[in-house]
């Protein structure tokens, strides 16, 4: 029989907002079993918590002092079928897609290959502490099935839809694309996200028809928007020749016309948006997944797309969260994503891009984007016990921003090490990964 209570002794970081993160040195995280799994009952100082539970039966105490606990991550935009193109040569988005990404995604037509890769990627996710997010699979139905079968945590997944401007080996008919969305939504309900790859590769008829269906089923919708200036020129040029779209002025308007925007829609990137577009996203409560490592300069292993203006997005009250955009982003760990967000903004002399903000946007904000923040995203009482343990830094600081900086900036010059930082990952209070 599983114990009714679990107490984990550790230092605790609990994100509260962009500006605040609770930090409890020598803390205790108390979990209580419920029918759905362990939830956080309370957190506090070890000294005040332990005596309260002394007399309780059915209790397991885990002494992990020397470790820091924080909520597990949400990655709100990644392509699980791009694990092997993360570190391939990058010059710019469109060339990288054509030369590396699409030929690689085509391999997933093979069911055995997809299954092996999904199991491997599922292990990568738990090992970096990512237990939720919004994920792109390839056009092949079974790649979404495999992700939903093997990933541990709370993910929505969709097959990219590619009906035009794509290589023959990776192109569906309009009919096939629409039928795929219907079949998968019936099978996976709200875990299936409508995922037109982006306006250039997905005919507007497909976007219109499938988003009608997705909205009716209250499904999430995800796609790419305004990632690079070349891409915007390409999209607008292409749509100026499509009947009914001759007068379209902006990239966002294409998705708006397809009725794809809304509170359950997550747009990847959104770097180059006019004020009118920002207003549209805000009015429709559409969320943005910001992918700093993917957008970073080529020298930093990104696609060199540009820097997302989070201040402007916030001025327009647009919700945004952090994401890796694997394989545009080179590393799966959200620690690497957080560091890149902090470093790039510091270099550009943009204030406010703190580690505290980065943690909030990689946890709570991700849960908000997926409409899970009542039960996920932090260590607040009542939420699921989804968390990671990392080694405490030497000379552990007293303030959360300092502690987060000690933990995260440590690997900034050896980025591949971010993937090895998590010592243990817990999902609903059960250990799902131990190093």
Under the rule (CB under 6 A), what is the footprint of ligand GUN? 79, 93, 97, 101, 197-198, 224, 227, 294, 325, 328
Are 18 and 342 in contact by the 8 Å Cβ rule? The answer is no
Q: Among residues 328 and 377, whose Cβ is nearest to Fe ion? A: 328
Q: Among residues 8 and 81, whose Cβ is nearest to Fe ion? A: 81
What is the smallest separation between the CB atom of 341 and ligand GUN, expressed in angstroms? 16
Angstrom distance (rounded) from CA 171 to CA 176: 10
198 binds, among ligand GUN, Fe ion, none (CB under 5 to 8 A by kind): ligand GUN
128 binds, among ligand GUN, Fe ion, none (CB under 5 to 8 A by kind): none
Helix, strand or coil, per DSSP, at residue 86: coil
What is the smallest separation between the CB atom of 222 and ligand GUN, expressed in angstroms? 11
In sequence order, what are the residues at sequence separation of 6 or more whose Cβ sits closer than 8 angstroms to the Cβ of residue 118? 80, 143, 146, 147, 149, 150, 151
What is the smallest separation between the CB atom of 391 and Fe ion, expressed in angstroms? 31
158 binds, among Fe ion, ligand GUN, none (CB under 5 to 8 A by kind): none
Angstrom distance (rounded) from CA 31 to CA 430: 10
Are 59 and 32 in contact by the 8 Å Cβ rule? The answer is no
In sequence order, what are the residues at sequence separation of 6 or more whose Cβ sits closer than 8 angstroms to the Cβ of residue 104? 81, 82, 84, 85
Q: Among residues 14 and 101, whose Cβ is nearest to ligand GUN? A: 101
142 binds, among ligand GUN, Fe ion, none (CB under 5 to 8 A by kind): none
Angstrom distance (rounded) from CA 366 to CA 369: 5
227 binds, among ligand GUN, Fe ion, none (CB under 5 to 8 A by kind): ligand GUN
What is the smallest separation between the CB atom of 378 and Fe ion, expressed in angstroms? 26
97 binds, among ligand GUN, Fe ion, none (CB under 5 to 8 A by kind): ligand GUN
What is the smallest separation between the CB atom of 309 and Fe ion, expressed in angstroms? 19
DSSP class per residue in 252-280: HHHHHHTT--STTEEEEE--S--HHHHHH
Angstrom distance (rounded) from CA 265 to CA 219: 9
What is the smallest separation between the CB atom of 298 and Fe ion, expressed in angstroms? 17
Q: Among residues 267 and 278, whose Cβ is nearest to Fe ion? A: 267
What is the smallest separation between the CB atom of 228 and ligand GUN, expressed in angstroms? 9
129 binds, among Fe ion, ligand GUN, none (CB under 5 to 8 A by kind): none
197 binds, among Fe ion, ligand GUN, none (CB under 5 to 8 A by kind): ligand GUN
Are 278 and 316 in contact by the 8 Å Cβ rule? The answer is yes
383 binds, among Fe ion, ligand GUN, none (CB under 5 to 8 A by kind): none
Q: Among residues 329 and 429, whose Cβ is nearest to ligand GUN? A: 329
Q: Among residues 204 and 328, whose Cβ is nearest to ligand GUN? A: 328
Neighbouring C-beta atoms of residue 188, cutoff 10 Å: 17
For ligand GUN, the nearest residue by Cβ is: 328
Q: Among residues 106 and 372, whose Cβ is nearest to ligand GUN? A: 106
Q: Among residues 198 and 239, whose Cβ is nearest to Fe ion? A: 198
Label residue 48 exposed, middle or buried (CB < 10 Å: 0-12, 13-18, 19+): exposed
What is the smallest separation between the CB atom of 264 and ligand GUN, expressed in angstroms? 20
Binding site for Fe ion (CB under 5 A): 268, 325
Are 358 and 320 in contact by the 8 Å Cβ rule? The answer is no
Q: Which of 328, 362, 326 is nearest to 342 (CA)?
A: 362
For Fe ion, the nearest residue by Cβ is: 325
Label residue 347 exposed, middle or buried (CB < 10 Å: 0-12, 13-18, 19+): exposed
Angstrom distance (rounded) from CA 107 to CA 325: 19
Q: Among residues 201 and 280, whose Cβ is nearest to ligand GUN? A: 201
144, two tokens: 């979404």
What is the smallest separation between the CB atom of 180 and ligand GUN, expressed in angstroms? 17
């Amino acid at each position: 029989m599983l114990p009714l209570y679990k107490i984990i002794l550790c230092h605790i970081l609990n994100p509260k907002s962009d500006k605040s993160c609770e930090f409890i040195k020598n803390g205790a995280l108390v979990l209580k079993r419920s029918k759905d799994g362990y939830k956080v009952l309370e957190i506090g100082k070890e000294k005040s918590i332990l005596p309260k539970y002394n007399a309780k039966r059915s209790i397991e105490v885990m002494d992990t002092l020397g470790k820091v606990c924080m909520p597990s991550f949400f990655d709100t935009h990644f392509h699980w079928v791009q694990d092997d193109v993360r570190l391939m040569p990058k010059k710019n988005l469109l060339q990288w897609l054509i030369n590396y990404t699409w030929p690689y995604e085509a391999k997933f037509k093979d069911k055995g290959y997809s299954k092996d890769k999904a199991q491997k990627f599922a292990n990568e996710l738990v090992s970096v502490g990512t237990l939720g997010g919004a994920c792109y699979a390839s056009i092949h139905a079974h790649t979404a099935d495999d992700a939903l079968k093997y990933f541990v945590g709370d993910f929505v997944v969709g097959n990219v839809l590619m009906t035009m401007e794509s290589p023959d080996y990776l192109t569906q008919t309009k009919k096939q694309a629409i039928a795929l969305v219907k079949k998968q939504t019936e099978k996976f309900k709200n875990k299936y996200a409508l995922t037109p790859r982006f306006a250039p590769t997905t005919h507007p008829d497909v976007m219109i028809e499938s988003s009608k269906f997705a909205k009716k089923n209250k499904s999430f919708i995800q796609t790419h928007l305004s990632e690079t200036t070349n891409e915007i020129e390409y999209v607008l040029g292409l749509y100026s020749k499509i009947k009914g779209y001759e007068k379209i002025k902006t990239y966002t308007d294409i998705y708006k016309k397809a009725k794809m925007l809304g509170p359950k829609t997550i747009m990847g990137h959104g770097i180059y948006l006019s004020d009118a577009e920002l207003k549209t996203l805000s009015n429709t409560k559409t969320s943005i997944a910001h992918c700093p490592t993917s957008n970073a300069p080529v020298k930093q292993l990104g696609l060199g797309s540009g820097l997302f203006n989070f201040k402007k997005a916030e001025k327009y009250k647009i919700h945004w969260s952090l994401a890796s955009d694997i394989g545009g982003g080179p590393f799966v760990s959200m620690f690497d994503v957080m560091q890149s967000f902090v470093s790039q903004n510091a270099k550009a002399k943009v204030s406010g891009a703190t580690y505290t903000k980065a943690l909030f946007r990689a946890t709570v904000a991700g849960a908000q984007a997926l409409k899970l923040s009542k039960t996920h995203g932090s260590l607040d009482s009542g939420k699921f016990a989804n968390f990671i343990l990392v080694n405490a830094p030497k000379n552990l600081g007293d303030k959360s921003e300092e502690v987060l900086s000690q933990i995260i900036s440590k690997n900034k010059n050896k980025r591949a090490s971010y993937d090895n930082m998590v010592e243990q990952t817990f999902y609903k209070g059960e250990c799902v990964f131990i190093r």
